[in-house]
Structure 1
Amino acid sequence: MSIKSNIMRRHDLDWLRVIVFGLLIFYHVGMFFVPWGFHIKNDIIYPEIRWPMLFLNQWRLPILFVISGMGTYYALSKRSGGQFAKERIQRLLLPLVVGMLFIVPPQVYFERLDKGHFSGGYFEFWPSQAFIGVYPEGNFSWHHLWFLPYLLLFSLVLLPALLYLRNHPESWLLKKTAVLASRPFGLFWLIIPLYIWESLLEPFFPSTHALWGDWFNIVNYITLFFFGFLLISVKEVFWKTVLKNRRKYLYCGVLGFTLLIGLRQLYSDSTLIHFIEALFKVFNLWAWILALFGYAAGYLNKPSKTLSYANEAVYPFYILHQTFTIAIGYYLMHLPWSFWSKFLLMSLGTFGFSWLVYEIGIRRWKVMRPMFGMKPKQTEKSVKSGNLVP
């Protein structure tokens, strides 16, 4: 069944995607300085910056999967199931392979140098050592590109259900979603499955991003992806509600994050505390997601040349950025500089080198564009919300 798309373009979704992936660069730079595990670490750790990073971490990935589900709705509105599957494989699998072969190995190389597991030049490491064994024991990895295989899996596994909902807009599920979305706090019923996953799955399946056996992340993120498709399917019902009630959701987010931090500071982990924390966590992340959609709808739903450029660049930037972050961090980690000196240099360097490679080595070259998930230049007049998310 072919459906002609009369869907109005949502520039706010484009802006949110660009902003959230921009924050990802700052987040990964921050990982260099906090006590949490990362590939390389600064000589001095700054525990206090984990609080703003924890704030971002609560909703950053969940909103990306919600936006991805929304983008899937746009993509399916003008493609058959087969065309959609082919496009997703081309625009997710090819960049993943390219990234694992050429972009991720330098990250592993610098980590092996830092930990004393390898010595020598990069081309002594790649390719002879780069693909021996699976990380962390070995060197072959997708590192920060884990988002791509997860998104590909969700897109293909859910495709029959998404096609059914696309072809049956009067289905019970979409009608129920519209009812929930029409009420200021009706959308908070959607945290019920998120709470079940957080309270019952998360303790037994810690996050690995390895796909195989990573059951909590798979179930949690595929749920958020599906929510995105449902919410965008009810169109203006959803957008009017989040726009009108954005301040309420903001207050809920502030309350939820305060409760979450307070609980972690005041009580030791236990079974009861885990169930309470899980509730605070899903309430908090969902409130921030709804607030962000509301404020974006109010202030960002307008086109601009900056948005057009950034929306096209965001996918290559995502693929490239962590390699530059780790490379720069490796040469700064032992210097007696302040936190802000290193943080700013790493942030500016990551953005700058990513932009340089994108502008000179990717955007202008027909053969390079598909390797980084970009559409052929001659057929692309603008980057739409229905295009690949990231």
Structure 2
Amino acid sequence: MSTVKPEREYFLDSIRAYLMLLGVPFHVSLIYSTQKWAVNSTEASLWLTLLNDFIHAFRMQVFFVISGYFSYMLYLRYQPQRFLKVRLERVGIPLLTAIPLITLPQFFMLKAWAPKLANWEHFSPYEKFNNLMWELISHLWFLLVLVVLTTLGMLTFRWLRDQKRLIDYQRVGWGTLTLAVMAWALLWCVFRRVIFMFQPGWLMDGLFSIVVMQTLFYLPFFMLGALTWKHQTLKQLFVRFNPVMCFGAIAVFVLYCVNQRMSSGEGWLYELDALISTLMGLCMLNVCFCFGHKLLNSHSPRIMYLVNASLFIYLVHHPLTLLYGIYVTPHIHNDTLGFFIGLLMVFGLAFLLYEIHQRIPLLRFLFSGKPQNK
């Protein structure tokens, strides 16, 4: 257990906050993209479809690297049982709070006002349960995955802490790192293909898809973050500009777009998506870290405000975006104008709700998981 509190990594806080806040333009652009969502505009926009694809291609991979970094830091700071309690409170309490206060009302809203659940009465009991699970936790999936990864961290972090230094990380470069992470992604693809061949229904199950498949996909990024804390040479690698990784992100994004439009669900769409998204995550890890370290590695009250607000904004923006899509989108016939009006309305209402909740101690605790000072 370490009792020395390290210097705050402001650029990592900032990147994590911005990645969370990117959830708003991601979901607002989803309305105007070619992707089928709960609500869609009459005509799809090409540039908003590309924007939506770009955000989706890398955002959560980088987020889980940063989560693993800070989680391992806390694991070393506390006793293991104390670490588990602190992390589960900070992740689990907002998760459990958001279900009855956000996603359950959102479910009834979709059931009443959107065509997505129009045939609810004709669903079988399992279909009703599975759709309910998707609606209750799909928006909160990353919190559930963090709960699972934190619990697994009692084993994986202990193994990492006790691991003897068999690898000289001074000699580890992007090539070795990419091969290692891509090897895990390939194993994930094989695992998914076996399930698809013998138990395809599991992949449509909300709980299995998130708890098992998503957790296994993001596990190497989470552990990569922990390794970055333990071996600072990795952090130096990430914050140093690498032209192959940075400009390679453009080529990988082109592959991502091609796969989304040329492949099918019955073919190799999801396996190719996993491989491409893994590579895109590694490329954008270098982009986010190197530019974040140069531009955001200093204390700023405005940035710290966004850091503190980002989780709450992410939790409440989803139903606000759906309401905007249901009631406002049909009256705006220009997709670009609708997108920016949507950003203004959703961000405005979300920050207003954040300020209201800040003044209510119980809500501050429920949406942060942190004990509030008297």
| Aligned partner letter, 2:15 | L
1:51 aligns with 2:50: yes
Structure 1 residue 23, shift from structure 2 partner: 1.1
Confirm or deny that 1:136 pairs with 2:131. yes
- Partner in structure 2 of residue 110 of structure 1: 109
Measured after TM superposition, the shift of residue 70 of structure 1 is 0.8
Measure how far apart 1:101 and its partner are.
Answer: 0.5
Structure 1's 165 and 268: CA in aligned 2 closer, same or farther, altered over 3 A? closer
User: d(CA) in 1 for partners of 2:296 and 2:366?
Assistant: 30
1:191 to 2:181 alignment: yes
Report whether the alignment pairs 1:356 with 2:352.
Answer: yes
Shift of 1:151: 0.6
Aligned-partner Cα distance in 1 for 2:308–2:87: 16
SS in 1 for 2:299: coil
Of the candidates 331, 342, 349, which is equivalent to residue 346 of structure 1? 342
Question: Which runs of no fewer than 5 residues in structure 2 stay unpaired?
Answer: 119-126
> What percent identity do the matched residue pairs reach?
19
User: Hey, what's the Cα distance between the residues in 2 that align with 1:52 and 1:117?
Assistant: 27
C-alpha separation between the residues in 1 aligned to 2:103 and 2:144?
Answer: 15
Offset of 1:313 from its aligned partner? 0.9
Find the counterpart in structure 2 of residue 87 from structure 1.
Answer: 86
Selected match of 2:222 from 220, 225, 250: 225
Q: In structure 1, what is the Cα distance between the partners aligned to 2:102 and 2:330?
A: 24
Deviation at 1:272, TM superposition (A): 8.5
Verify the 8 A CA contact 1:197 1:220 in the aligned structure 2.
no
Distance 2:106 2:4 in 1: 42
Q: How does 1:174-189 map to 2 (within 5 A)?
A: 175-176=166-167, 178-179=169-170, 181=172, 183-189=173-179
- TM normalised by structure 1 equals 0.81
8 Å Cα contact 1:177/1:231 also seen in 2: no
Deviation at 1:293, TM superposition (A): 1.4
AA aligned opposite 2:164: S
Displacement, 1:267?
A: 8.0
What amino acid sits opposite 1:356 in the alignment?
L
Provide the secondary structure at the position in 1 that maps to 2:285. Answer: helix
Q: What is the deviation of 1:88?
A: 2.2
Give the root-mean-square deviation of aligned CA atoms: 3.1
Note the alpha carbon deviations across 1:200-232, whole angstroms, 9 max, x for none.
244537976833254432211122211211122
Change (3 A) 1:51 1:145: same
AA matched with 2:145: Y
Structure 1: gaps (5+ residues): 119-131, 380-390
Distance 1:342 1:21 in 2: 22
Structure 2 CA distance, aligned partners of 1:212 and 1:137? 14
Q: Distance in 1 between matches of 2:101 and 2:157?
A: 34
Q: Assess if the C-alpha contact under 8 Å between 2:38 and 2:116 holds in 1.
A: no
TM norm structure 2: 0.84
Structure with a larger share of its residues in helix: 2
